[in-house]
Structure 1
């Protein structure tokens, strides 16, 4: 793996002039999407994980046969290596099967997402396929409203047992997923992909894709996704109205606004009274319990297994940053923050094209997503895979 601050542009980074569909890479992008989606169906877990593993064998093999070279930003490569070292050393304290399996996932799947897959899956093409796949799955999610069966093979299309926040009487759609948040995550990325396609090519089909995926997101009751979509659209508008320097300020400002809002929620800084009473789904108790646990073991944390001796599900704090800090201590947590936040801000600073703008906006969204969900860039879950893949597009210099 070569590490260099001066990144060269890849051939796949010229989609503005060349819109020809590259069949092999399109097939590989679709293979990745299908494999990470199937784990949320009624398919047996062992079968789904086997399919994911085979998909990665194909993807990595294609990379080796096609080029085999790996280029990356030396700073973030070193940060990632340090982070994996901390995680590996922490494993020595709890060398059980689950922790070993998660470490192997970090060293294999996550590493491939960061340093290999971005070079063989063109950014524009991956986003376009994600927009189309999510639009199809959104449409499938509405079939129960039309009287179609709710189970077809290993696909369960049942509506979620709750009311849509914005329209009482309608139930959230789940499509083939086991809960609406998974569909919401894919619809969010598909929405941004469709919006990116529309801004780049100004085609009516891109606008239609945007409408379908955004409406699908609205039908999932995933409030975090709604907020991220609004922020994403505002950042797009801000970039078009002002220059790149102002875009960087807007990106940093959006991240700081979230941090300040959270501090106000916990009355750590003065703010509107309603924020201290704003519902975040019972997360306050979990976050406080997890932070208290970190104070008791700040250096090495509790490992991948997390915290199990606390009530109220503190082992699942629904916050990626808290999860990493409690898992791997202050050092591991700071390294994780440097990777996630550093790539986001640096991506904004290096923006040269609409691809770079969209990548930065996605990274901002993932920074915010991790505040309210236990979804790090580690692992083979759908959203974790896409987070690490988007980080990879920046780290290897594929998109700017």
Structure 2
């Protein structure tokens, strides 16, 4: 049961209640977004983590007081619990501080994102808030172009020390983040949220949000985000121009195309020669070394702390799937794949509403993102939080 149903079933003045709920859910969405963004500023790490923990205490308390129930897809809940059990056993075999912290994060923050937050953060409202926060951060990121100071308390707005690929006279924007890719990760979700809002309501402000967020994404130099956005538009068009069956085929086809392309890059299946020459941002060597390391300990892997001690690039593979396989062995890696890819495919197959289309697009976006980024759905990083939250919208059945 979502927050809208929980509150409005007791009230007769629905227009007033809808406004009240919108204000409330906006506040709850900001309560989650602001702390996870602040951890990438100059704010002391301990303070940032403290704010995140406080936000989760408030959100969980609100759920207990106003919702009180948890519902979820049985199959994927079992997969999550089995994955959690594998991770728990592996990390308890090496009970150092890094492994214990990661395990606690999986059992608390990640579980909350998947099973609790979707019922108190309505999907449309969360995307709407994310789009507006993203747009504001993009505008703030433009300040250095106009000669404004780059230091505001805990915020450093300095431009990135490189050149924008498509316009070398400008440097990439970072806004309040320490890295343009972090801004790009949030703005990608914001741009998809803005487009979702525009397609549903056809409002001028939604179109403006789309322009601002997409412009911001283009000025981050985050090529992965550019590719994901193009795929997202392709999937939207496949649904709007055809039907849900074609959309599901397009989703599965996109995943298969990316998988086959990656296999071609490593000459595992026949393909164009130029693909085998891609460095993939210097990831090729890291991936190869990581897989070789996995073969030495395929059953249990090395745990999170063990990965950091590996050499030759395996300690930082820049690939979430490889990181999980290396950390928790073949069984843990396959379970992680089943959860991340399985929810995406099932979401596409079960699409009934436009909300379901957007959720599926966000899920496949995170599937692709994790190929080139090592942040999994475990943790309190911004991307980990958003990945697990979107998985949660599907598993809890809030969106179809």
Confirm or deny a common fold (TM above 0.5). Answer: yes
CA shift for structure 1 position 158:
0.3
Aligned 1:343-354 pairs, distance under 5 A:
343-354=343-354
Between Structure 1 and Structure 2, the one with more helix by share is 2
Greater Cα shift, 306-315 or 186-195? 306-315
CA distance, structure 1, for counterparts of residue 93 and residue 292 of structure 2: 21
Is residue 135–residue 212 contact of structure 2 (8 Å, CA) maintained in 1? yes
Is residue 344–residue 364 contact of structure 1 (8 Å, CA) maintained in 2? yes
Alignment correspondent of 1:161 = 161
CA distance, structure 1, for counterparts of residue 277 and residue 395 of structure 2: 39
CA shift for structure 1 position 9:
8.0
Is residue 2–residue 122 contact of structure 2 (8 Å, CA) maintained in 1? no
- Residue 302, structure 1, aligned to residue 302, structure 2: yes
CA shift for structure 1 position 70:
0.2
CA distance, structure 1, for counterparts of residue 336 and residue 218 of structure 2: 31
Alignment correspondent of 1:178 = 178
- What is the TM-score normalised by the length of structure 1? 0.95
Is residue 144–residue 159 contact of structure 1 (8 Å, CA) maintained in 2? yes
Is residue 160–residue 173 contact of structure 1 (8 Å, CA) maintained in 2? yes
CA distance, structure 1, for counterparts of residue 308 and residue 199 of structure 2: 47
* Residue segments in structure 1 that go unaligned for 5+ positions in a row: 1-7
CA distance, structure 2, for counterparts of residue 376 and residue 308 of structure 1: 15
CA shift for structure 1 position 221:
0.5
CA distance, structure 2, for counterparts of residue 174 and residue 243 of structure 1: 39
CA shift for structure 1 position 304:
1.3
**Partner SS for 2:371:** helix
1:116-153: CA deviation from partner (whole Å, max 9, x where unpaired): 00000000000000000000000000000000111100
CA distance, structure 2, for counterparts of residue 67 and residue 179 of structure 1: 38
CA shift for structure 1 position 312:
3.5
Is residue 12–residue 122 contact of structure 1 (8 Å, CA) maintained in 2? no
1:356-384: CA deviation from partner (whole Å, max 9, x where unpaired): 00000000000000000001111000011
1:44-63: CA deviation from partner (whole Å, max 9, x where unpaired): 00000000000000000000
Aligned length: 390
CA distance, structure 2, for counterparts of residue 99 and residue 259 of structure 1: 30
CA shift for structure 1 position 12:
6.3
CA distance, structure 1, for counterparts of residue 306 and residue 50 of structure 2: 26
1:194-224: CA deviation from partner (whole Å, max 9, x where unpaired): 0000010011111110110011001001010
Displacement over 3 Å in runs of 4+? 8-13, 17-21, 308-312
- Residue 284, structure 1, aligned to residue 284, structure 2: yes
CA distance, structure 1, for counterparts of residue 359 and residue 5 of structure 2: 15
CA shift for structure 1 position 11:
4.5
CA shift for structure 1 position 259:
0.4
Is residue 3–residue 122 contact of structure 2 (8 Å, CA) maintained in 1? no
CA shift for structure 1 position 309:
4.8
Is residue 320–residue 372 contact of structure 2 (8 Å, CA) maintained in 1? yes
Is residue 157–residue 174 contact of structure 1 (8 Å, CA) maintained in 2? yes
CA distance, structure 2, for counterparts of residue 198 and residue 191 of structure 1: 10
CA distance, structure 2, for counterparts of residue 195 and residue 309 of structure 1: 43
**Partner SS for 2:93:** coil
CA shift for structure 1 position 10:
7.7
Is residue 321–residue 370 contact of structure 1 (8 Å, CA) maintained in 2? yes
**Cα separation, partners in 2 of 1:309 and 1:130, compared to 1, 3 Å:** closer
CA shift for structure 1 position 278:
2.0
1:24-65: CA deviation from partner (whole Å, max 9, x where unpaired): 111010110001000000000000000000000000000000
- Residue 94, structure 1, aligned to residue 67, structure 2: no
Alignment correspondent of 1:104 = 104
Is residue 306–residue 326 contact of structure 1 (8 Å, CA) maintained in 2? no
CA distance, structure 2, for counterparts of residue 310 and residue 323 of structure 1: 12
**Cα separation, partners in 2 of 1:12 and 1:301, compared to 1, 3 Å:** farther
Aligned 1:29-44 pairs, distance under 5 A:
29-44=29-44
Alignment correspondent of 2:9 = none
CA distance, structure 2, for counterparts of residue 348 and residue 12 of structure 1: 25
Alignment correspondent of 2:205 = 205
Alignment correspondent of 1:334 = 334
Greater Cα shift, 354-363 or 165-174? 165-174
Aligned 1:50-89 pairs, distance under 5 A:
50-89=50-89
1:226-252: CA deviation from partner (whole Å, max 9, x where unpaired): 000000000000001111111111000
* Residue segments in structure 2 that go unaligned for 5+ positions in a row: 7-13
Alignment correspondent of 1:3 = none
